[in-house]
Chain A
């Protein structure tokens, strides 16, 4: 293990890779700051650039973009109350009021220090958790993987939010269906190609990700015709104030950051949960732990209220890499896109990644930590200047985002059919967004579709076509039992919330 870590450290610390982390953090911060464009869009936009690089550098750049996008989302949450990502919504609860009180610099500093600490604690956890889980998962068989994928997809639907369970479920199925387009890898039979040669290789994941996120988001901004409010413009023009924190403030946020980081990491490891749930849980936890006096400050610029979601969402980002790197199963839309990138580099993440590609495995973990340092040392002092980019007029920015999305996909295949297909998918995505259907479950379903089918085929072949494989192995049975609990989760939570409302009414 030590040898692998050292190899990873030397890979991550090469000048070229440090430069990649820095570029990734900057690009991610900028893209993440733009309302609507979150880490998925940021990563999708950067993937075409990474194709010419070696996998380790490509993945390091992507990890930097991921962190940068989360940080960028926090910045727009704090400065203009427009979270770029769902994971930073909770940040705006106290970050924006603090900025309104003239302490934007302080709020940004708290966010950066909390993110840094959250990321650091999570990186240490990841250092131990990932190899441990990789070792355990070496004993996993096809049936277990199949069950894990079902669990992951169900969890995404279960955590989709109130009243969105079925919407997320049907979107997952939609993604799974799209994944079957093209030649079946096992039998060589073409499916749903309708005689079109351009569909023989199936739909590219990058095309789908770009169309359903970056492109559809840009189209939505065209349709919605939203202009920056005077208040937002003013906020961007005013000085953000000092970035310094007092000793008392550091003392106040230290335990909060510690607790929230641990919570965030474990929530991030869970499939489907991700940074949004982690940040809300941490915010809720801190509010209930706070004294009656402190509780009143929540929502009005509380340091604790800002530090908790920031450390939790960053820790959850690192946590979400655990199932991705060790099991090859993404737990969120973002990690699904990263998995897609890995697969296109020819790398299959899973338990053997740790032994087969130690340099890649460890360099990604180490680069996450470097990414945190870059965000703190370089991005934080530069944030007042990066934030000015937010003032860039939409009429210039939107056509550029659309151009980069189209060209990013076109440059991979040089096939204009891909551009037409992107347009179709983006129009469908816009229609689905208008009726509140989430896109992330579709990407997750799409990425997992082929793997799921292959594992099901293997499991069925081993068990001679019998469905006994679902309960014969304890691991499979346990995972499937968890899946059933997840399926019941919306009903259970509905029951409890109804009970709470009834008690409050009494």
Chain B
């Protein structure tokens, strides 16, 4: 399998879906007499996307390029598990930033991040996660005047901040 083939298949599916949904774009009543509606540009982009991906797909069968071969051996050396953990940590951060508030969510996220990457020095973990979260929060709220909500959990426990 070549990289071009994988990519062209991905873009073929994406472009075809994009093209299909272009028909869902509403055309206003007056739009029917206009030279260009909200659908025109996406429609042609979809057509172009499909054409280019098909061309790439064909070329991936016709033309042989050593650099284009997907290196499975190199692929095996990648640590996808760590990558996945980080993705989950980011999603968790997105969920907790409003519920737990900026400081607690950030401290948890950074500790998880350092742990995923196998940082063993507990002092560094604690000092960096607490330090970065608090200093950044102070910078935002006290220096730049950005309002940061205290977190929904605190709203529940001690009432909504005035």
User: Contact: A186 with B119, CB < 8 Å?
Assistant: no
Select A176's contact among B10, B45, B119, beta carbons within 8 Å: B45
B102 (CB) vs chain A CBs: closest residue: A407
Complex Cα gap A435–B56 (Å): 14
A170 near B53 with CB under 8 A, answer: yes
A419 at the interface (CB under 8 A from B): yes
Q: Is B86 positioned at the interface, with any CB of A under 8 Å from its CB? A: yes
Query: A461 in the interface, Cβ–Cβ < 8 Å?
Result: yes
Q: When the two chains form the complex, which single residue of B45, B67, B77, B119 contacts A180, counting CB atoms closer than 8 Å?
A: B45
Residue of B14, B25, B35, B91 touching A461 (CB-CB under 8 A): B35
The answer, yes or no, to whether A297 is at the interface (CB within 8 Å) is no
Contact residues in A for B34 (Cβ distance below 8 Å): 461
Residues of B near A403 (CB, < 8 A) are 106, 109-110, 113, 132
**In the assembled complex, how far is the CB of residue A312 from the closest CB belonging to chain B, in whole angstroms?**
26
Q: How far is the CA of A460 from the CA of B144 in the complex (A)?
A: 46
Residues in chain A near residue B61, CB distance under 8 A:
none
A430 close to B83 (CB less than 8 A): yes
Across the interface, A170 reaches (CB within 8 A) one of B7, B27, B38, B113, namely B7
CB nearest neighbor in B for A453 = B41
Contacting residues of chain A (92-124) with chain B, CB-CB under 8 angstroms: none
How many residues on chain B are close to A (CB under 8 Å)? 69
CB interface residues, A 145-179, toward B, < 8 Å: 163, 166-167, 169-170, 173-174, 176-177
Task: Give the contacting residue for A163; candidates B8, B52, B68, B83; CB below 8 A.
Answer: B68
Q: Is A223 in contact with B80, judged by CB distance below 8 angstroms?
A: yes
Q: Which residues of A contact B65 (CB under 8 A)?
A: 163
* Docked pose: A192 CA to B42 CA in angstroms: 10
- From the candidates A219, A407, A461, name the one contacting B83 in the complex (CB within 8 A): A219
CB distance from B44 to the nearest CB of A (A): 9
8 Å CB contact of B7 from A177, A423, A427, A437: A437
Q: In chain B, residues 100-144, which have Cβ atoms closer than 8 Å to a Cβ of chain A?
A: 106, 109-110, 113-114, 116-119, 124, 128, 132, 136, 140, 144
Q: Is B6 on the interface with A (CB-CB < 8 A)?
A: yes
Does B49 sit at the interface, judged by CB under 8 A? Answer: yes
Contacting pair B119 A402 (CB below 8 A): no
CB atoms of B36 and A399 under 8 A apart = no
Main secondary structure of the interface of B (DSSP, over half): helix
With CB as the reference atom, state the residue of chain B lying closest to A450.
B41
CB of A411 within 8 A of chain B? yes
Chain A residue contacts of B45, Cβ below 8 A: 173, 176-177, 180
* In the complex, chain B residues whose CB is within 8 Å of the CB of A399: 109-110, 113-114, 116-117
Q: Per-residue 0/1 for B46-83: is the Cβ within 8 Å of any A Cβ (1 yes, 0 no)?
A: 10110011011001000001011010000101111011
Taking the closest CB of chain B, its distance from the CB of A2, in whole angstroms, is: 37
The docked-state distance in angstroms from the alpha carbon of A464 to that of B33 is 11
Instruction: Quote the shortest CB–CB distance from B95 to chain A (angstroms).
Output: 7
**B90 on interface, CB distance cutoff 8 Å:** yes
Interface residue ranges of A122-154 to B (CB < 8 Å): none
Distance (whole angstroms) from the CB of A135 to the closest CB of chain B = 31
Q: Is A15 an interface residue (CB 8 A)?
A: no
Task: State whether the Cβ of A187 lies closer than 8 Å to any Cβ in chain B.
Answer: yes
Q: Count residues of chain A with CB under 8 A from any CB of chain B.
A: 57
The reply to whether B7 and A435 contact each other, CB–CB distance below 8 Å, is yes
List residues of chain A with CB within 8 A of the CB of B106: 403, 407
Q: Flag whether A499 is at the interface (Cβ < 8 A).
A: no
Please measure, in the bound complex, the distance between the C-alpha atom of A435 and the C-alpha atom of B78, giving whole angstroms: 14
Is there an interface contact between A402 and B113, defined as CB atoms closer than 8 Å? yes
Contact, CB under 8 Å: A465 / B35: yes
Interface stretch, picked from A302-310, A354-362, A388-396, is: A388-396
Instruction: Please tell me if the beta carbons of B48 and A402 are within 8 angstroms of each other in the complex.
Output: no
B146→A167 contact, CB < 8 A: no
Smallest CB–CB gap between B71 and chain A, Å?
10
Give the complex CA separation of A396 and B146 in angstroms.
26
Q: Which residue of B35, B48, B90, B144 contacts A173 across the interface (Cβ within 8 Å)?
A: B48
Given contacts A223-B79, A403-B106, contact A166 B59 (CB under 8 A): yes
Taking the closest CB of chain A, its distance from the CB of B161, in whole angstroms, is 14
Q: Cβ of A224 < 8 Å from any Cβ of B?
A: yes
Determine if A497 is an interface residue (Cβ-Cβ < 8 Å): no
**CB interface residues, A 168-206, toward B, < 8 Å:** 169-170, 173-174, 176-177, 180, 184, 186-189, 191-192
Q: Which residues of A contact B136 (CB under 8 A)?
A: 407
Contact (Cβ within 8 A) A411 B146: yes
Of chain B, the residue at the smallest CB distance from A464 is B35
Q: A300 — which chain B residues lie within 8 A by C-beta?
A: none
B31, A187: Cβ atoms closer than 8 Å: yes
Residues of chain B contacted by A166 (CB below 8 angstroms)? 4, 52, 55-56, 59
B50 vs chain A, min Cβ distance (A): 10
* A57 CB, min distance to chain B CBs, angstroms: 14
Q: Are A423 and B90 in contact (CB under 8 A)?
A: yes
Partner pick for B91 among A167, A393, A420, CB 8 A cutoff? A420
Q: Is A398 an interface residue (CB 8 A)?
A: yes
Contacts of B150 in A (CB 8 A): none
B91, A423: Cβ atoms under 8 Å?
yes
**Residues in chain A near residue B91, CB distance under 8 A:** 419-420, 423
The answer to whether A457 has its CB under 8 Å from any CB of chain B is yes
Interface residue ranges of B1-31 to A (CB < 8 Å): 3-4, 6-8, 10-11, 14-15, 18, 21, 25-28, 31
Complex CA gap A437/B42 in Å reads 22
A173 touching B49, Cβ below 8 Å: yes
Q: Which 9 A-B pairs have the closest CB atoms?
A: A399-B113, A419-B94, A395-B117, A465-B35, A435-B3, A189-B38, A184-B38, A395-B119, A223-B83
- 8 more A-B contacts (CB under 8 A) besides A170-B52, A180-B41, A222-B116? A170-B7, A170-B11, A177-B49, A187-B28, A189-B38, A399-B114, A406-B90, A432-B7
21 A-B residue pairings within 8 Å (CB atoms): A167-B4, A170-B52, A173-B48, A177-B18, A177-B46, A180-B45, A187-B31, A187-B38, A188-B28, A219-B86, A222-B86, A224-B79, A396-B128, A399-B109, A399-B116, A403-B113, A406-B93, A406-B94, A410-B97, A435-B4, A437-B7
